[in-house]
């Protein structure tokens, strides 16, 4: 057994996390910063943070992930990291020439209390940030929140640094996609385009973290929201924020700074969450939903109706981030499946209430845990007590899947051992179809592999 020391008996823990269902803020800030065109993320801390974040994001996308670091040594940790960051700006703009550097902090620089705003001002005054170039920052202490918090903080920083209300009424909608994958961002833009809605979307990692192989390497690939686009967000009709954990801060900042009203929605994963997203766009932009989208919805419905027998009543354990989990539960319930164990290491006040509401009467005894102490070890113990039919979560679930022989659909971050998430969306109706196909395949492949020979089915 891979996890041979995990037993069914749960001893409450107050201090020890085992097999976490979250990671730290800075990696989320790095991911968000990659969604701005010609932006180099910068990690203000020890080299290891930057190296770990780049490695994890690279393994997840199998794409280059470039970022610089302040390379703290013991001296910087004692005397502060100002000299390091000033030197970093000079080197970065000279050697790597981005339009913008997006600095995020780490537990190290937060603990010593470096004032990044002040350092950026000093760098500007000293000419270390060339005219017309930009440096922004987000405070992302690793000991607060989770990777999702870091994403939210950097997204907010984009707003506070760039969004501007000029008084002009731009016929466009701001779309804050939340922490979703590049193909999801592409799909969101595509849906908006097909509805005839102009959107400003940021961060936007499509064409950055799924750049084509051309034989020519681009340090700054063609994708990413431009600073001009983010600036114009202050003049938009309104903002649709997707995912409360990842997008609320940016949406609120836009409202506060530029008086752009927002509507917060859950990530459009699955039928009904996508319905709500399309409906919100339709109303906010005052457009009609084209038949091509309604037809797509119909195809997803058709798939559900045709294949319902394979999924209904199945018990599912899920772990990951609040925004994804709420929407996934919504989708599973709509398939008449039963999400029974739901775990996120990310603290969220809204999460449990919302999941309970989504589950309604269908899974009254669901076990839900969030924040400190909510980890995959505990979830595995629940599974040992009473097993499930399906696991949905990041790659770390494969150890449970193998030990307990449970079908496993990978969703979330990070996925280190499969490739689909980097190319195929799970948002929108098409995303729902892709997700449902994966769930069906997991069940049906198992039936084909392990069912009795006399019960082997040609047609399913």
Partner 1 sequence: MAHDAHEVKKEMVAIYPKKLGKKRAEQIVVTELGPDGAVPEIKANVRTSPGIITQRGCAYAGCKGVVIGPSRDILSITHGPIGCSFYSWLTRRNQTRPPTDSDPNFINYCLSTDMSEQEIVFGGEKKLKAAIKEAYDAFHPKAIAIFSTCPVGLIGDDVHAVARQMKEELGINVFGFSCEGYRGVSQSAGHHIANNQLFRHVVGLNELTHEEKFKINLLGEYNIGGDAFVIEDLFRRCGIKLIATFSGNSDYDSMANSHTADLNLVMCHRSINYVAEMMEKKFGIPWLKINFIGAAASAKSLRKIAEYFDDAELKAKVETVIAEEMPKVDMAQQDVKSRCQGKTAMLFVGGSRAHHYQVLFNEMGMEIVAAGYEFGHRDDYEGRKVLPTIKVDADSKNIEEIEVRPDETRYVPRLSPERKAQLTDPELEFQDYVGMMPEMEDGTLVIDDISHHETERLIELYKPSIFCAGIKEKYAVQKMGIPCKQLHSYDYGGPYAGFEGAINFYREIDRMVNMKVWSLLKAPWQTLEPRPDPAPVAAD
Q: How many residues bind partner 1 (CB under 8 A)?
A: 85
Closest separation in Å from C-beta 416 to partner 1: 8
| Site for partner 1, residues 329 to 348, rule: CB under 8 A | 345
Within 8 A by CB and 6+ apart from 248, the residues are: 152, 241, 264
Beta carbons of 148 and 27 less than 8 angstroms apart: no
| Site for partner 1, residues 179 to 208, rule: CB under 8 A | none
| Site for partner 1, residues 108 to 167, rule: CB under 8 A | 108, 111-112, 141-144, 146
Q: With 0-12 CB in 10 A as exposed, 13-18 as middle and 19+ as buried, what is 283?
A: exposed
Among the residue ranges 4-12, 200-208, 349-357, 424-432, the one whose residues contact partner 1 (CB under 8 A): 4-12
Closest separation in Å from C-beta 455 to partner 1: 31
Q: Of the candidates 32, 36, 69, 393, which one interacts with partner 1 according to CB under 8 A?
A: 69
In whole angstroms, give the CA distance from residue 243 to residue 177.
Answer: 7
Closest separation in Å from C-beta 29 to partner 1: 12
DSSP string, 98-109: -SEEEEEE-HHH
- Take residue 219 and report the two structure tokens written for it: 């340090």
Beta carbons of 92 and 102 less than 8 angstroms apart: no
| Site for partner 1, residues 26 to 65, rule: CB under 8 A | 26-27, 42, 45-49, 51-56, 58-59, 62-65
Task: Rank residues 310 and 399 by Cβ distance to partner 1 and give the closer one.
Answer: 399
Does residue 367 have a cis bond before it (omega within 30 degrees)? no
Q: Of the candidates 31, 89, 202, 341, which one interacts with partner 1 according to CB under 8 A?
A: 89
Q: Of the candidates 8, 13, 127, 419, which one interacts with partner 1 according to CB under 8 A?
A: 13
Show the site string, 251-290: x = touches partner 1 by CB under 8 A, - = not.
----------------------------------------
Q: Of the candidates 30, 33, 98, 106, which one interacts with partner 1 according to CB under 8 A?
A: 106
Whole-number Cα distances in Å, 198 to 190, 239, 404:
10, 12, 48
| Site for partner 1, residues 369 to 408, rule: CB under 8 A | 372, 377, 396, 399
Beta bridge partners of 338: 315
**95 part of the interface to partner 1, by CB under 8 A:** yes
Sheet holding 199-201, edge to edge: 199-201, 173-176, 238-242, 262-265
């Amino acid at each position: 057994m891979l996890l041979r020391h995990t037993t069914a008996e749960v001893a409450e823990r107050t201090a020890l996390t085992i097999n976490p269902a979250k990671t730290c803020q800075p990696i989320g800030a790095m991911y968000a910063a990659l969604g701005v065109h010609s932006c180099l993320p910068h990690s203000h801390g020890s080299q290891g943070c930057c190296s770990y974040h780049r490695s994890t994001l690279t393994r997840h996308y199998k794409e280059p992930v470039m970022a610089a670091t302040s390379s703290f040594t013991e001296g910087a940790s004692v005397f502060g990291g100002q000299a390091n960051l000033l030197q970093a700006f000079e080197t970065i703009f000279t050697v790597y020439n981005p339009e913008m550097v997006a600095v995020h902090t780490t537990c190290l620089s937060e603990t010593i209390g470096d004032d990044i705003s002040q350092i950026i001002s000093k760098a500007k005054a000293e000419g270390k940030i060339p005219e017309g170039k930009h440096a922004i920052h987000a405070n992302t202490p690793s000991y607060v929140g989770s990777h999702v918090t870091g994403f939210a903080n950097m997204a907010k920083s984009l707003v506070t640094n760039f969004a501007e209300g000029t008084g002009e009424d731009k016929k466009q909608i701001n779309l804050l996609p939340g922490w979703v994958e590049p193909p999801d961002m592409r799909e969101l833009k595509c849906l908006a385009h097909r509805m005839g809605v102009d959107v400003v979307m940021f961060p936007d990692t499509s064409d950055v973290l799924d750049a084509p192989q051309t034989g020519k390497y681009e340090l700054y690939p063609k994708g990413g929201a431009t600073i001009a686009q983010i600036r114009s967000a202050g003049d938009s009709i309104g903002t649709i924020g997707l995912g409360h954990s990842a997008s609320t801060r940016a949406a609120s900042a836009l409202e506060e700074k530029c008086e752009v009203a927002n509507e917060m929605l859950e990530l459009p994963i699955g039928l009904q969450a996508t319905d709500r997203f399309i409906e919100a766009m339709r109303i906010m932009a005052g457009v009609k939903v084209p038949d091509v989208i309604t037809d797509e919805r119909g195809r997803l419905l058709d798939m559900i109706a045709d294949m319902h027998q394979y999924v209904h009543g199945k018990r599912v354990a899920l772990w990951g981030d609040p925004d994804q989990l709420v929407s996934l539960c919504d989708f599973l319930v709509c398939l008449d499946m039963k999400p029974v164990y739901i775990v996120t290491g990310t603290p969220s006040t809204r999460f449990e209430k919302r999941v309970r509401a989504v589950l309604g009467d269908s899974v009254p005894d669901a076990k839900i845990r969030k924040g400190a102490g909510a980890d995959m070890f505990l979830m595995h113990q629940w599974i040992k007590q009473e097993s499930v039919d399906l696991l949905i979560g990041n790659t770390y679930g494969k150890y449970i899947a193998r030990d307990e022989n449970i079908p496993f659909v990978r969703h979330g971050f990070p996925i280190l051992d499969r490739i689909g998430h980097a190319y195929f969306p799970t948002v929108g109706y098409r995303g729902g179809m892709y997700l449902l196909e994966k769930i069906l395949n997991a069940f049906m492949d198992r039936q084909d592999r392990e069912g009795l020979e006399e019960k082997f089915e040609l047609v399913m």
